[in-house]
Chains A and B, each alone.
Chain A
Amino acid sequence: NAGVTQTPKFQVLKTGQSMTLQCAQDMNHNSMYWYRQDPGMGLRLIYYSASEGTTDKGEVPNGYNVSRLNKREFSLRLESAAPSQTSVYFCASSERLNEQFFGPGTRLTVL
């Protein structure tokens, strides 16, 4: 089992460009999450999907959109990247409120 996979691992964007971060899990979990992690800020929830077909905003949703494509895949889209979105992005999955499994992260720099 691969667990949670994320692509790409690294990305550099210019201000105003768009991109989609991909996430997939093979553990048959219902819930999936997108976090960003900045120095000293811990993990902050951007969006989550409690089950296939539903998505909800987290603490810091502005500037992002998500799509729960199917039970396995949950993508995060930046429509018009800003330098404030420079961060490390982690995708995670879990079965309800049990242990979360994280992907390896995407390191995004917006110039």
Chain B
Amino acid sequence: RKEVEQDPGPFNVPEGATVAFNCTYSNSASQSFFWYRQDCRKEPKLLMSVYSSGNEDGRFTAQLNRASQYISLLIRDSKLSDSATYLCAVGLYNFNKFYFGSGTKLNVKP
């Protein structure tokens, strides 16, 4: 079983749509949670950290559900520039390392 699982997509949505991604993790000892954005042939870059109480950054909202062991990312009012692959990552404190999901591809169309 993979440590972190994501739906690979692609999610094809029109501009202005709201889209949500989920990411499940298997290790209940996971302690830090992130969403990264990766553009084609580029390195991943942090989109946002995910906090226990949930957090928002402009059009992006991230939530953590420890009981069900998943994190989510909601993108409102999608822009063409949001087209990318979104990777979730979880950090394991005791091992000081991260596990990444395989990524969810988003295509925002005019």
Residues on A close to B: CB < 8 A?
A: 31, 33, 35, 40-45, 48, 50, 56, 58, 90, 94, 96-105
Contact = CB atoms under 8 A, between A and B. Distances in A.
Interface stretch (B10-18, B76-84, B96-104): B96-104
Contacts of B96: 31, 48, 50, 96-97
Interface centre among A48, A97, A104 (most CB of B within 10 A): A97
Nearest to B44: A102
Given A90-B43, A102-B43, A103-B43, A42 B102 contact: yes
Contacts, number: 57
A99 B31 CA distance: 13
Interface stretch (B55-63, B64-72, B86-94): B86-94
Interface of B (DSSP majority class)? strand
Interface of B: 4, 6, 8, 31-32, 34, 42-46, 49, 87, 89, 91-93, 95-103
Contacts of B93: 97
A58 B103 contact: no
Contacts of A31: 96
A100 B89 contact: yes
A26 to B, nearest CB: 16
